[in-house]
Amino acid sequence: MVRFESIDRDLNATPLVGKEEAKFSVQIDNLFGPKDGVVYELLQTYKNQIRGFVEAVKFALGNPTFGGQLAEDMELGFAPVRPAHLKDNGGNSLLGSAVTADGAYFKITYATEWVTLAEGSLNDDVGIIVFGIIDLYDGDTITARTDGIRVQVGQRSLLPLDVSNAILTDNRNDVPVWNFNAIPVLPKEYFKIEVHSPDYDSGTPTTGKIKLLGVAVGRGRFLKANF
């Protein structure tokens, strides 16, 4: 059993053992790239929660072998969360109507104060754990700051999180990095993520661009096909 205080929930889990644990310990430190930035520092903070989530997904999917970044089709792998990972069983995107994918980033049209970033039931083959946002706001081509997030997992809704006063600046890209309590969503589970901007404009919608900080944990076949 793994405890996630962020959603007041205990998840059944199957522990990583032997080579699985060794793969996780080595690969997790390189999952987000260079080891001298704020993102790497945050990764160290959330490492144990990510391990717990991997073990929860391992249980949920019937105990497949954890292959990490070398996962075979039916093995369990992990990768940084991308918009392409947010799909249902039919392969349909769960992104909101005002959101489009731009590689690893989410482009958001803010005609209203709150915008649905993604909503639906995750594919059977993947789960996600999210613990932060990178905002690409520049005031020029990207005209809306994203300063809040609220999440529903299953029937439980978290109160809106104000991250406007928790800005850390990444020392490589000079962009705001916001972190919050890790939020896990298991395979098949319903979830909804909404984001907030003070710069919305119903007449001439503004544009935001963000990246979710988190990890997708799923079968190799899903992660290979959705990038």
Listed by start position, the domains of the chain span 2-225
Non-local (6+) Cβ contacts of 68 within 8 A are 23, 24, 27, 77, 78
Closest Cα partner for 26 from 36, 35, 39, 14? 35
Higher pLDDT, 7 or 56: 56
pLDDT of amino acid 217: 98
pLDDT of amino acid 174: 62
pLDDT at residue 168 above 70?
Answer: no
pLDDT of amino acid 35: 73
Non-local (6+) Cβ contacts of 174 within 8 A are none
Higher pLDDT, 98 or 136: 98
Non-local (6+) Cβ contacts of 22 within 8 A are none
pLDDT at residue 172 above 90?
Answer: no
Mean pLDDT of 17-26: 95
User: What's the pLDDT tens digit per position in 204-224?
Assistant: 999 999 999 999 999 999 999
Non-local (6+) Cβ contacts of 44 within 8 A are none
For the chain, count helices (H), then strands (E).
3, 14
User: What's the pLDDT tens digit per position in 38-96?
Assistant: 888 888 899 999 999 999 999 999 999 999 999 999 999 999 999 999 999 999 999 99
Distance CA 83, CA 152 (A): 18
Closest Cα partner for 146 from 170, 180, 113, 191? 113
User: What's the pLDDT tens digit per position in 108-159?
Assistant: 999 999 999 999 999 999 999 999 999 998 889 999 999 999 999 998 888 8
Q: How confident is the model at residue 171 (pLDDT cuts 50, 70, 90)?
A: low
Q: How confident is the model at residue 25 (pLDDT cuts 50, 70, 90)?
A: very high
Distance CA 108, CA 106 (A): 6
Cβ atoms of 216 and 80 closer than 8 Å? yes
